[in-house]
Amino acid sequence: MRHGKKFNHLSRKAPHRKAMLSNMASSLIAHKRISTTVAKAKELRKYVEPLITKAKTDTTHSRRVVFSYLQNKETVTALFNEIAEKVADRPGGYTRIIKTGNRLGDNADMCIIELVDYNELLLKEATPAKKSRRSRRGGKKDDATTEATPAAKAPKAAKEEAVEAPAAETEETPEAKAEEAKEDDKKDGE
């Protein structure tokens, strides 16, 4: 009977499950992001978050406790030196699970589990995009409105011509280039 055993066994015996979670935790710490099934990711989150919390207190005892779970010296060193410093002020919730759809072969729910403080795309502040100046497309204006304020319109028209002139120079068509080449040849011939 399985009374009171309320965690996901992941269809594995206890030693296999322990080894798998240890290897997945080592991979997560080394690569900061791994792709796996949702069920394994949820169990991995339960497995790795207490280890990251223990890594915040850098003592010999906590290193030995974490090593008993991970069984990998390089991973333990990376966890205590690099990751623990980065998550020192975070009170928990060190991982994020992002669902990515279903696997093609067996239709299993797949996801990406990642360390929260290592996703540069989400951490990067949204920089406002530069708005390009666009000219309005409209019909002809009434003669009454243009005649009423010709002096007010003249400075704006001069500014618009100044803005459009550099744009016209950069957007030369091949035909215009061919005409310029012909004119240059005529000047050279004279």
Tens digit of each residue's pLDDT (9 = 90 or more) over 63-106: 999 999 999 999 999 999 999 999 999 999 999 999 999 999 99
Tens digit of each residue's pLDDT (9 = 90 or more) over 136-183: 777 666 665 555 555 555 555 555 555 555 554 555 566 666 677 666
CB 118, CB 52: distance < 8 Å: no
Which residue shows structure tokens 């990711």? 41
| Residue 166, H or E segment | helix 150-170
Q: Where in the chain is CATH 3.90.1030.10? A: 14-123
Written as one letter, the residue type at 100 is T
> According to CATH, what is the number of the domain 14-123?
3.90.1030.10
- Could you tell me the pTM of the whole model? 0.64
* Strand, coil or helix: 37: strand
Strand 95-102 vs strand 33-37: parallel, antiparallel, or unpaired? unpaired
Going by the DSSP 8-state scheme, the letter that residue 81 receives in this structure is I
* Strand, coil or helix: 169: helix
